[in-house]
Each structure stands twice: as C-alpha cells, then as structure tokens.
Amino acid sequence: MGISFKEVSHLYPGLKKKQFTVALDAINLDIAAEGEFVAICGKTGSGKSTLIQHMNALLLPTSGNVIVFDKVITPKKKKNPRLKEIRKRVGFVFQFPEYQLFEETVLKDIMFAPRNFGYSIEDAKNKAIEIAKLLKIEHLLDKSPFNLSGGQMRKCAIAGILSYDPDIILLDEPTRGLDPKAQEEIMELFYDIHKKTNKTIILISHDMNLVYRYASRVIVMNDSKVAYDGDKVSLFKGNIYSQNHLIKPDVLDLIDYLNEKMGYELDYNTFTLDELMKKVVKLHE
C-alpha cells in the first residue's frame, strides 16, 4: 500500500481558546503505491487540500495515523519517522508551483531538489537536463526562471519535482491560471508519465472535464468526510455529483442531449468530445 489513512481527523485552531474547525473527520482511505490516477473533488472548504497535505506529511493528523510506504505518521511530532524520506517518495506540485522558483537559472532550480535529496552535482545536472527535455524546456536552462512566461514557469517548477523521481505525485490544481492549451499540455504530460511509469498520480481539481478525461478513480470530499470513492462513470450516472456540488462534464451533457433529442443510446464510457464525435459519425455510416 502506498498511502493509507486510519481514522484520520484534522482540526484547525480558531480565534478563541478551545475553538476549532474540523477539516478532516475520521477519514479511512487507501491509495495504491502504483497504477492509480485519482482525482479528489469537492466544493471549496470540503477538506481536499488538507487531505492531500497529509499524504506527504506537510500536515500531521490531529488524531489517527497516516501510513506512507510503511512509515507511520502520527499526531506527535517526536514519534514521526524522518519526514524527508517520505517527501522524497511523495512529490507535491503546489497550486502555483512557480511561486517556489528562486535560483538564478532554470537549470539550478531543477537541480535543487535532487541535490537536497543527496544526488551528486553531476547526477543532479544530468537528471535536470533529462527532465527538461521531457518537458521541452531544455532551451530555457540558462535563463532566469523569472524572465519566463507563466506556462514556462509552471513547467520549470514541475521539472523540479520530477527531477528526483518520486513514486507518487500529488497535484493541487496544477492547471489553475493557465490557458486551455497549456492546461492540456500539463495534463497530457502527467498522464503520459502515469501510463509509461505506472506511477500513482493524485489530482485535486474543480474542472470536471479534466477529471473525467484523465482520472480512473474519483474521491469526493464533502463537509470534511469522504462522500464518494469509486469510478468516474458511476459518479455521474446518478445524483451523487450534484448532491456534492459538482458539475457534470461537458461531454456527458452533450451525450444526454443527443440521447434525448436524437434518440441515440450513447453510454457514459466516452471521455472526450473527440471520442463522442467519432461514435456519432460511426452511427451514421
């Protein structure tokens, strides 16, 4: 098992003494060490970000335990394993990762994480160049990260996470603030990594179109609890998605319309508009 939550609760202190806000309420959850592409969804304040920050010990539970690759994270700081080892295996791409850029050049910024995790200078440089080529930013290595476009900065920051090859990658709204083309490039990158390496990817997103296209499992948070945990098709077949303040993906809205108005019998196992178009064309051949 990669990540396991055992009766995990998290409380944020309020302004007054003995006043708390419950962010997570007795969460039980298991995520495999490899092979999963999980989306975490829910309205603002439902507990998504708090949940994901427990997965590499950025936050410690108030009660319960989180187990990450056999290392038990407890509420008591002194009893926890070396958190650096956990963070090496579970990489976190923050909502605006470009805000973490700080080195003089893109190359140095990408090298920083592997150097921090014990790579030699030569190995860190080779890994940085390899990842830069993967993200098609090798031509930016000698530039200052602060003189790049928003999309380029985002790719440089992501390269810094990929450079030390974590086993599980956490993504907190990785496409937020990007134009549609850049959004697709980022998501295709992570989906390609998932398919080629079998790494588990865990994504927070409000964009149900992205969730429906890429995720194989959806966890829905509502009022600090897990309201749904299962496959994406089942989520949108009933009323669970609307009860949890989610919007049906565009492709499913169009399928509903075509089935109702045109008498088609299209099913929900269609994840992009291109796939839907091909199915409709085939019906008329």
**Active-site residue list:** 173
The number of beta carbons lying within 10 Å of the beta carbon of residue 148 is 18
* Largest CA-CA distance found in the chain, in angstroms, rounded: 70
Question: Looking at 32-178, which runs of residues are DSSP E strands?
Answer: 37-41, 63-68, 71-73, 90-93, 168-172
| The 63-68 sheet, strands edge to edge | 20-31, 3-13, 63-68, 71-73
Name the one residue in this structure whose structure tokens are 């088609």.
Answer: 264
Nearest to 64 by CA among 133, 7, 125, 146: 7
Residue 125 region by backbone torsions, left for phi larger than 0, else alpha for psi between -120 and 50, else beta: alpha
Q: Is 218 exposed, middle or buried (0-12, 13-18, 19+ CB in 10 A)?
A: buried
Tokens representing 116?
A: 């921090």
| Residue 204 and residue 172 in contact, taking contact as beta carbons nearer than 8 Å | yes
Amino acid at 248: K
Contact assessment for residue 41 and residue 236, using Cβ atoms and an 8 Å cutoff: no
Burial 43-65 (b: 16+ CB within 10 A, else e): eeebbbbbbbbbbbbbbbbeebe
Residue 245 host element (H or E) = none
- Which residue in 227, 231, 176, 229 sits closest to 205, CA to CA? 176
